[in-house]
Structures are given as C-alpha cells and as structure tokens.
Amino acid sequence: MVDLIIYGGTVVTIDKDRRVINDGGVVIDKGLIVFIGTSKAAKGTFSAERTINAAGKVIMPGLIDVHAHAGHGLVKTMAMNSDWERNCGTIYTSGSTPEFWYAEARLAALERLRFGVTCGVSLLGGGDTIMRTDDPIYADAHCRGVAEVGTRSVVAIGPTRAPHPLKYSRWDGNKSIEYDVDFKKQIATCEEVLSRWDRSINERIMIAMIYPVLRNEHKENMSVVDFEEAVRQVKFVRELSKEANVIFTQDGHTGGSVKRADDLGLLGSDVLLSHATNLSKEEIGICAKTNTRIAHNPSAVASIYGYCPVIDLIEAGVVVGLGSDATAPDRSGDMFRHIQQLMHYHRTHYRDASYMPPGKALEMATIDGAIALGLDHKIGSLELGKYADIILVDMQSAHLHPVNMEPYRLACFANGNDVDMVIVGGKVMLENKLPTRVNKEEILREAQNETNKMIKRMDAKPLLELPDGFWGKTKYL
C-alpha cells in the first residue's frame, strides 16, 4: 500500500528525456516518487491510501525560485519612487520585530505555495547589504513561519558589508532600543541559525551563507582599511559556508565584481551569484571555469539597469536558474510571470523571437534551479527516487484552451492562479487552491496588522503616498 496515486493528467516530467506522458500517473510513497508512467500502469500496479484524479490538469515538478528577499512581502510599493531600497533597509534594521518577520514569512510562503513554488531562496533582508542577523530571534521567526505553511526554503543569512558596527534597533513595546552590532556578533548569529535550522523539518528548511558583493564602487568609496577588512570578512564567510556544506550566495553582481570574486577565491559549484549583469567575456568564462551558478532575475530593477547575458552564459556551460527577486517593489512570487518575462527579456535584447524557447524557460524554473541550489538529486524534475515536490496545473480555463502542446502552453499562457494542488515531500500542502495546513484569512490579517504596526513605529505614512508623476505622466517626476 503506497501513500498516493495521481492519475489521469498530462505528466510533464522535465526528466533527462523530457518525457510528456498523456493520461499519465505518478505514484508517491514515504515522500518519494516511486513510479511514473501511464494511469493504467499506476493504478494496475499499486494500491494507495489516497488517489487523485488529475484529468484536465498537468502534473509537473514544483517551481523553484532561486533568488528572493524575506521581509519584502510587507513593504512592497512603499516609497516606490523615493529611495525604496534605503527605506527598506531602515525598516529591516530599525523598524522590524520578530512578529514582523514571522508574519511576512507566512505571507510570502503562502504566495509561493499558491503559485506552485515548492522551493525558493529567501535572503533574510533587503538590498544587497542589509541582513537581520543581529540576533537569531528574527531568523527563528522567519523559519517557523515558512515551516508552518509547508514550502521548501533556502534561507540566506550573513553579516552586513564592512565597515562595522552597524546600528540596529529592537522594540520593547513602543520604545526603540538602539545598539551597535559588529561582525563578530553577526557571525555568532549565523552560526546559531545554522545549527538550529539547516536541513531541518525533513529538509524543508535549509540555510545558505551570504556576504554582500564587493563591487568597484565599494572599493572606490571605502577607505583602504575598510575595504581590506571587507575582503577579510567575505573570505571568512566563504570558508564558513564550506565548513557547513551550504550554498554561498551574493546579491547584486555586475561587471567587474565576478572577476574580483574569482581573484578572492570565492567561486565554485556551491556558489550562486544573483543578477550578474554586464559581465565581460572574461567573467562569463570565469563562471564556466569555476562551475559557478547564476540566479537570473529578469523582472528585477537590476535587469533594467544592466543586461544579464544568460544566452552566452548557458552556451558557455554555466547553470542559470530563474529568480523573482521577491515580491517587492513591483513584482510578485508568480514564477509563471517570470518565465514569460524571461522569454521577452532576451528576445527583446536580441531583437529575435527565436531566443529562449519556452522549454528552456521551464527548465530554468525547475531542474536548472535545482542544479543551481545543489538539489537536483532531490527535486526539480519528476523522476524515481526524488522528493515528491509536484504541482497540478488546472488547464480548464479559456486562456489555456484548447489543451494541446501542454509544455508550450504552461510557459507562455499559464499563471500562478492556475495551480490547483501543491505537494511537497509527498504531503498535500495546497488543495483546491487553498492551503491545507494554515488558515489563509489568518495569515492575511496578521500580515496587515504587522504592517500597520511597522508603519506606526516608523512614522512611515508618507511612504504610502502615490509618487509624483504616478498619474498622467510618462515618467515619474
């Protein structure tokens, strides 16, 4: 007796042979996929505690988001055109509480779950610099929130960029208590979070290490002493990632910073670099030579300011996964949206519609993302022995009909709201488009309440005003 049989749908495996099985079946037992084939063979060979009729649906691997930020779910759109990133950093270091991080984690995880994202990276902070690593209590709150909803998450933690100390605040009722946090304290926080949470909750919570990118402007604007200290710190964090056997990631790479990272000995197959815009041919070669992975975020503001040479990277043999860059300031966690943005982004760049075929776009949001996270032996495709991280996409809508060429339609026409069921590690976490382990209304209410409290704490109501030029103009003023 197995745990679950899903039958009657079109199985898009994204396995090594990229099989598509009409009237297919997937059998799950003890959290793993134990059979993939026809519905007839699945039902004829196995008996199960539960069977799910997936007629009219696509059965496919859960989507993977390789780059996003915790915290963003409660600050999206605030200060949209008035230094959003600076305000975001102030809120995270001075205006947030453990309750804020818990509510945001549950909201962001619920959004991912609703959109069929079964695994995602979340940096514990905003921008490329601010991490809430002054005390483990904030990471604890985040991890608890995600674990309750049921998705799989890679939580990236690490110190802020030198120089130190940095001012943080905690709240005692309505009173803000400000204090200095140095590099040593942040590392102690990271080590404690690693010991508590890495590979916990049946490996649904994993920890990664992060240190801010050292770009050219940092070297130019920092004192020699501060920059040398930053170099010492990033090397220390990189070694810590190796000792802990976790991913090392950096947010905000652009031309010149990849070469510097290579010169500092930071790169490798366990490294994930986000954005990676305006890379030189030499840097593309460095990524290939070191087997460094790239998190591409085509919907991000960074992809407006610079171009990520994904086509050249992939052709050079570099693994590139797809990221959302989180749900703020102007995005969502809907990876189908980012799949479509991915295709248009590169076709527009080349002025050629033959670039970035839909199948490759789907791969980047599934198996390539799994490879980028070092998890392709466990997730990213429907194959025997892998975790049963599976989504069912309901094709019974006008925008997905008539039903044929399902992989093409998924990439070009589907959206997150078409996801009907989500299974993570063999457990049904979303059914009939509703979460099974948490109360949706409670999460929304809690997110609203914590946001309102944060706005009051920070006297941030002016950040909610529509920016000048929002109406009637072709550009913000």
Q: What is the pLDDT of residue 477?
A: 81
* Ramachandran bin of 291, using left for φ above 0, alpha for ψ from -120 to 50, beta for the remaining angles: left
Residue 467 three-state SS: coil
Per the DSSP assignment, residues forming a β-bridge with 177 are 170
Question: Do residues 389 and 62 touch, judged by C-beta distance below 8 A?
Answer: yes
User: From the first residue on, what is the mean pLDDT of each consecutive set of 10 residues in the chain (477 residues)?
Assistant: 98 98 98 98 97 98 98 88 80 95 98 98 86 97 98 97 95 94 98 98 97 94 96 98 98 96 98 98 98 98 96 98 92 97 98 98 98 98 98 98 98 98 98 98 98 94 89 91
Q: Quickly list H helices, 198-264.
A: 216-221, 224-244, 257-263
Place of tokens 């649904």: 204
Place of tokens 């309901």: 394
Residues in the chain: 477
Q: What is the pLDDT of residue 77?
A: 86
Residue 183 three-state SS: helix
**Sign of the CA dihedral 468, 470, 472, 474?**
positive
Q: d(Cα 463, Cα 81) in Å, to the nearest integer? A: 9
98 upstream amide cis, omega within 30 of 0: no
Q: What is the pLDDT of residues 65-117, one digit of tens each?
A: 999 999 999 998 887 766 778 888 889 999 999 999 999 999 999 999 999 99
Question: Do residues 53 and 15 touch, judged by C-beta distance below 8 A?
Answer: no
* Ramachandran bin of 297, using left for φ above 0, alpha for ψ from -120 to 50, beta for the remaining angles: beta
Give the residue among 173, 117, 105 at the shortest CA–CA distance from 144: 105
- The two tokens of residue 141 are 């709150």
> Which domains are present in the chain?
2-61+380-435 (2.30.40.10), 63-372 (3.20.20.140)
* 279-306 burial: b if 16+ Cβ within 10 Å, else e: beeebbbbbbebebbbbbbbbbebbeee
Q: What is the pLDDT of residue 79?
A: 75
Q: d(Cα 118, Cα 151) in Å, to the nearest integer? A: 5
Q: What is the pLDDT of residues 396-407, one digit of tens each?
A: 999 999 999 999
Q: d(Cα 474, Cα 135) in Å, to the nearest integer? A: 44
Q: What is the spatial order of strands in the sheet that 320-322 belongs to?
A: 63-65, 117-123, 152-157, 205-210, 248-250, 271-274, 293-296, 320-322
**Sign of the CA dihedral 136, 141, 142, 144?**
positive
pTM: 0.97
Q: What is the pLDDT of residue 81?
A: 66
Q: What is the pLDDT of residue 127?
A: 67
Q: What is the pLDDT of residues 246-263, one digit of tens each?
A: 999 999 999 999 999 999
Measure Cα distances from 212 to 25, 125, 184, 245, 257 in Å: 45, 11, 16, 19, 11
